[in-house]
């Protein structure tokens, strides 16, 4: 597996930062420093696991969404909220890597690979705990509630995914419900936290939350498209990893609707090797299911952007949020 | 492995309930119903995992401590706090069972055994999330902070335990620090939550927190003694499970100080079977290390009870708290 490229390209991030103005850059830098402080506060050996997870970086898309939804506000509470959503996100990644026995993430060894199941489970728990500690420090019970609801939804989505593993009867509606739970609720919470702790009147919390939910669903669909489409040298992982672990995603569901032979296939015994998974990816792509899945993602982006029209936003804020929405589906064109 | 007996005997619980009066029984019943509601709110398949974890029961010792530290108060916020500490405790048990590959807990199949690693990790995460949701509903950021600090400490203790696995150089001080993190901080948080949300003036929060910390350390030491001493038909697990997974506890540390041959032994290759673990338990017991460990636990109980003397407590509250303290080390005489 090669070193991974960031999922959202640097060019999109630069466009958002340009549109939003210097306040966003300042807030992202503060959140980054806060994450470093959290890692450093955890003492020797475990700081190492936490730090490697934090340092593996990523695009800090969720904190960015918090700050964009907060308007012009720049407070410690907002920095804490941005750090909290990122900590929760990282907690789920660390646990996912245990479950998937993943050796690398973004080109670095996972906590699981470096330190084993026990240390990785505990590190994830620690990141969870620290996420809530950050929000407790904001003094807002509503903020804690927003994150705990997202966190419960994430776990429910994870359970749903495992329950549906290898199932031939997952409907598009059920798939979308899982995207909602597993991914969209945390984006929704990021938007709510921004609205809650940001400039009063910066935006209606419900419309912003709906915006977050829409881009979250689109984000997950595109992730699932990239798992089939690759290319591996851009996504940083082989094609078909979802197929190998039985995760039924929209491209497969739509391909089965279009290819009766594929629909009749029992995938569990058929897809056991990376080569078999890659061959199945080609077969899914041949049905046109990837384009249809992308279109579904675009519909969610369009719906999300429509929510923004209900709000009186400052022009820079609106433009930056629209760029974020476009960015989640404009990964590798 | 036989069906397990509760760790604290019904006779101790009955004594605490008698001493505390009917308010405690009411609050424990309310917390139990709240836990059932939480499980039921999680939808079909996962409710099953959550429910089996909740139903496996246990003594609800931590909620009891919350309520006892709250004095005469009986509020929804306190019920939520009691449920929250129990949910967090259960989350850690579900994750521990994954790491220990434990098939049974309290005589019932664990979530890990019933549904696998993925479902158990997600169920633990869900229980974590719901714990914080319960506290968010109290409207008290201090309450959220108390739990998140305990939760971080728990994870740090777990990491420390894994780091020290099979180590021949764990000092008693380091062992006690681990007990503090892994076990005592949650008892401490239970006491703080009671003081915070309970009858004003029901007790000084710091002294109650110190009481909780003391009984928590004693509780962990006694757990570790029982792992060596058994008997299995009372503890519900074979002797020496800690030895089998490399967890270095006080009985082993003290036995090594007294038995130079034992100190020189490399345990990892020696202790691979339950029979070898049981033989090592006998050898540890022969050094007198179990009695010395019990004495250490009793010292922490005595220190905890001394903290209570600093407080102006109602007589029933004081008696009940003293009985709880005695109960944590008076398991199986």
**B147 and B30 share a domain?**
no
What is the secondary structure of A137-194 as a DSSP string? TTT-HHHHHHHHHHHHHHHHHHHHHHHTTT-S---HHHHHHHHIIIIIHHHHHHHHHH
Of B116, B139, B162, the last residue of a domain is B139
Same domain for B63 and B105, yes or no, is yes
- A144 touches B: beta carbon within 8 Å: yes
Does residue A5 lie in a domain region?
no
**What is the dihedral sign for C-alpha B87, B88, B89, B95?**
positive
- In a shared domain, residues B151 and B274: yes
Q: Tokens representing A38?
A: 């959290």
Chain B residues with beta carbon closer than 8 angstroms to that of A155: 46, 122-123, 125-126, 129
A38-42, A189-193, B41-45, range with greatest mean pLDDT: A189-193
Residue-level pLDDT at A141: 87
- Residues B211 and B308 placed together within one structural domain of the fold: yes
Q: Are residues B152 and B256 in the same domain?
A: yes
Asked if residue A3 is part of any domain, the answer here is no
Contacts A95 to B, Cβ<8 Å: 121-122, 125
Residue A327's alpha-carbon distances to A57, A69, A233, A249, B69, in angstroms, are 18, 16, 20, 21, 52
Q: How many CA atoms lie less than 13 Å away from B68 in the CB half-sphere?
A: 32
Nearest to A144 among B123, B144, B162 (CB): B144
Task: Looking at chain B, list the stretches that DSSP marks H as alpha helix, in order from N- to C-terminal side.
Answer: 10-20, 22-40, 44-55, 61-69, 76-99, 111-136, 141-163, 172-179, 185-197, 205-229, 232-235, 241-244, 250-258, 260-264, 267-270, 274-286, 289-309, 315-329
Interface test with A, best of B121, B178, B180, B197 (most A CBs within 10 A): B121
Domain co-membership, B27 together with B147: no
Tell me the three state secondary structure of residue B198: coil
Q: Assess if residue B319 is contained within a domain.
A: no
For residues B300 and B162, membership in a common domain is answered with: yes
ipTM score: 0.83
- Digitized pLDDT (tens) for each residue of chain B, 333 residues in all: 233 333 456 677 788 888 888 999 999 999 999 998 888 887 665 566 666 666 665 678 999 999 999 988 899 999 999 999 999 999 998 888 888 788 877 777 888 888 888 888 888 998 999 999 999 888 888 899 999 999 999 988 988 888 898 998 899 999 999 999 999 999 999 999 999 999 866 568 999 999 999 999 999 999 999 999 988 777 777 889 899 889 999 999 999 999 998 998 888 888 889 999 999 999 999 999 999 999 999 999 999 999 999 888 888 999 999 999 998 888 654
Q: Specify the residue for token string 């590959």.
A: B101
Residue A45 has pLDDT above 70, yes or no: no
Supply the pLDDT for residue B275. 92
Binary contact (A140, B140; C-beta < 8 A): no
B113 and B175 in a single domain? The answer is no
Clarify whether residues B67 and B150 are in a common domain.
no
Tokens coding B13: 């619980």
For residue A4, the model assigns a pLDDT of 35
Q: Give the per-residue pLDDT at B196.
A: 93
pLDDT in tens, A91-114: 998 888 888 788 877 777 888 888
DSSP-derived letter for residue B204 is -
Residue A164 is part of a domain; what is its CATH number?
1.10.600.10
B86 vs A56, more confident: B86
Whether the full predicted model's pTM is greater than 0.80, yes or no, is yes
B151 touches chain A (CB under 8 A): yes
Chain A residues with CB-CB distance to B99 below 8 A? 117-118, 121
Percent of chain A with pLDDT strictly greater than 70? 90
Residue A325 falls inside a structural domain: yes
Residues in chain A within 8 Å Cβ distance of B246: none
Whether residues B72 and B198 share a domain: the answer is: no
B113 with B225, same domain: the answer is: no
DSSP β-bridge partners for residue A109: A104
Residue A139 lies in a domain: yes
Nearest to B220 by CA among B107, B61, B4: B61
**B133 and B206 co-located in one domain:** no
| CA B315 vs CA A272, B68, B195, B301, B319: distances in Å | 67, 12, 17, 19, 6
B246 conformational bin, left if phi > 0, alpha if psi -120 to 50, beta if neither: left
Residue that is last in its domain, among B86, B106, B139: B139
Beta bridge partners of B109: B104
Chain A nearest C-alpha distance from B234 (Å): 28
Q: Which of residues 154-183 of A touch B (CB under 8 A)?
A: 154-156, 158-160, 162-163
Note the pLDDT of residue A53.
66
For the segment A211-229, what is each residue's pLDDT rounded down to a tens digit?
999 999 999 999 999 999 9
Residue B311 has, within 13 A of its CA and on its CB side, a CA count of 27
The residue among B97, B122, B139 that closes a domain is B139
DSSP H or E run through A321: helix A315-329
- Tell me which chain B residues have a C-beta less than 8 angstroms from the C-beta of A118: 99, 158, 162
Q: What are the pLDDT digits (tens) for A129-178?
A: 999 999 988 888 889 999 999 999 998 898 888 889 899 889 999 999 99
Tell me if B333 is assigned to some domain.
no
Does A302 fall in a domain? Answer: yes
Instruction: Please report which confidence band the pLDDT of residue A1 belongs to, taking 50, 70 and 90 as the band edges.
Output: very low
**Residue B148 sits at the chain A interface (C-beta within 8 Å):** yes
Question: What domain range is B178 assigned to?
Answer: 140-314
A137 touches chain B (CB under 8 A): yes
Is residue B324, in this structure, part of any structural domain at all? no
Number of domains chain A contains: 1
Which two three-digit tokens encode residue B285?
A: 């017991």
């Amino acid at each position: 597996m090669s070193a991974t490229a960031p999922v959202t390209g640097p060019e999109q991030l630069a466009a958002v930062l340009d549109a939003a103005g210097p306040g966003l850059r300042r807030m992202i830098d503060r959140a980054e420093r806060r994450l470093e402080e959290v890692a450093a506060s955890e003492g020797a050996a475990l700081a190492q696991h936490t730090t490697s997870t934090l340092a593996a970086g990523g695009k800090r898309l969720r904190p960015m969404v918090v700050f964009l939804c907060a308007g012009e506000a720049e407070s410690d509470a907002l920095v804490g909220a941005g750090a909290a959503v990122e900590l929760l996100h990282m907690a789920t990644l660390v646990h996912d890597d245990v479950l998937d026995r993943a050796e690398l993430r973004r080109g670095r060894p996972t906590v699981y690979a470096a330190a084993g199941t026990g240390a990785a489970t505990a590190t994830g728990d620690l990141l969870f705990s620290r996420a809530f500690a950050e929000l407790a420090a904001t003094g807002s019970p509503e903020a804690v509630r927003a994150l705990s609801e997202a966190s419960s939804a994430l776990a429910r989505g994870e359970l749903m995914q495992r329950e549906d593993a290898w199932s031939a009867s997952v409907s598009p509606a059920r798939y979308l419900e899982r995207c909602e739970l597993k991914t969209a609720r945390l984006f929704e919470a990021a938007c709510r936290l921004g609205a809650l702790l940001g400039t009063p009147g910066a935006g209606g919390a419900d419309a912003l939350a709906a915006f977050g939910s829409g881009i979250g669903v689109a984000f997950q669909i595109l992730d699932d498209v990239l798992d089939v489409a690759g290319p591996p040298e851009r996504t940083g992982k082989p094609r078909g990893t979802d197929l190998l672990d039985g995760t039924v995603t929209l491209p497969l569901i739509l391909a089965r609707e279009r290819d009766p032979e594929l629909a009749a296939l029992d995938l569990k015994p058929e897809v056991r090797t990376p080569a078999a998974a890659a061959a199945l990816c080609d077969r899914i792509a041949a049905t046109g299911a990837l384009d249809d899945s992308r279109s579904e993602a675009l519909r969610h982006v369009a719906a999300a952007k429509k929510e923004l029209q209900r709000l009186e936003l400052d022009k820079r804020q609106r433009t930056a949020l629209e760029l974020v929405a476009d960015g989640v589906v404009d990964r590798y064109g």
